Amino acid sequence: MDYDLIVIGSGPGGYVAAIRASQLGLKTAIIEKESLGGICLNWGCIPTKALIKSAQVFEYLNHSQDYGIKINGAGEVDFAAVVKRSRGVADGMSKGVQFLMKKNKIDVVNGFGKLKSKGVVEVKLNDGSTKQITAKNIIIATGGRSRELPNLKQDGVKVIGYRQAMVLPKQPKSLVVVGSGAIGIEFAYFYNAIGTKVTVVEFLDNIVPLEDEEISRNLQRILKKQGINIMTGSNVESVDTSGELCKVNIKTATGTEVIEAEVVLSAVGIATNIEGIGLEEVGVKTERGKVLVDDYYKTNIEGVYAIGDIVKGQALAHVASAEGIICVEKIAGQNPHPLDYNNIPGCTYCSPEVASVGYTEKAAKEAGYEIRVGKFPFSASGKASAAGAKDGFVKLIFDAKYGEFLGAHMLGYNVTEMIAEVVTARKLEATGHEIIKSVHPHPTMSEAVMEAAAAAYDEVIHL
């Protein structure tokens, strides 16, 4: 065998798995058809955050007088420069992964990898030639792509996916975003903040539908106040792209409405990249677009594993990384704990941000828990007031009988940085009273976690 391990795909699942394998003494190769870092570093998590930061800076300029700062003249968005900065950030991160591959002595094979037989991967190299490499173990980490609906075909110009939304040649004057998950809401926030007229269409009754309903309702109110038109309980039936503007036919609870926009962004989820990689030829079992694996990501075929978006669980970068580490440690003969998918944080990086982990209030009740709920609004936070960011709140959910920390839901400034405290607390099985008695620094946004826990037990001080 050429290697102990071959990883197909270099996203945050694949490259992390490769590095951990190298640390554990496995001779490792990674196959990537595009840029190291996969979608997350090049076309997802990282460049979108760069775009959002530009939008936030623009908002600061427009509201500088709120902070006692006068700026002569109006701020203006240089859309091409904003996109260029975003691409520069992504390129820098991809080069960082290149460095990590060299540092960890991981061979990088540039091309499209396909399973040929047990332990054999055929790679169609980017120069057009083909080679075969072998390994005792193979991890498939091929990720996902923008999902297309039959009535919302993407042409890459007028009807686009997230990749095109990051590199449009010019800023659209109007945009319809179909889907209000994290991707849809982040782009809606970005484009609205820099001056595009944005409409969000969501089939379900709440935006960010995986979040606690109270978070969804409050975020919707804030985004509407920012100027975003939000249509929930609505469905895009068709898009006419024949004219200068797209005509978007939307079915609502009261009838059909037509909205015109320069561009339509389809943000209705992702499809897995499992086609053409040899799964059928080798006999790897799949179901509904996902590769079937056990708790350590082993498929039904000996020596073949799968992680990330193509398997069970949330399609998130940090989930893929965690799965990759667990998978490799198991391959190396260690005994890692299976991943707890009920303790995975989810983040949406609009402004204000959304972060959550564990049970929503509704899910906790449906699971049979008797619950205690504590909330603390940022309007009562000294740090939030000083920062001019009083929108939002922290909501914590505990089991009333034993004090188990069931879930946390946050809406506000920088809450994506705060959620890790809750993830760690839940991992360590902390109770509500242990959170209350953990001294939080003042003034910080994170005090709201302690105060919300105190509110659940009628001990809150600052409300």
Residues with a known catalytic role = 442
Report, in angstroms and rounded to the nearest whole number, the Rg of the chain calculated over CA atoms: 23
Distant-in-sequence, close-in-space partners of 399: CB < 8 Å, separation ≥ 6: 364, 369, 370, 371, 372, 406
Which of 405, 355, 455 minimizes the C-alpha distance to 447?
A: 455
Closest CA to 192 of 46, 64, 351: 351
Query: Six-digit token pair at 364?
Result: 């906790």
Which residue type sits at 125? L
Tell how far CA 85 is from the center of its chain: 21
Contact 302, 271 (CB under 8 A): no
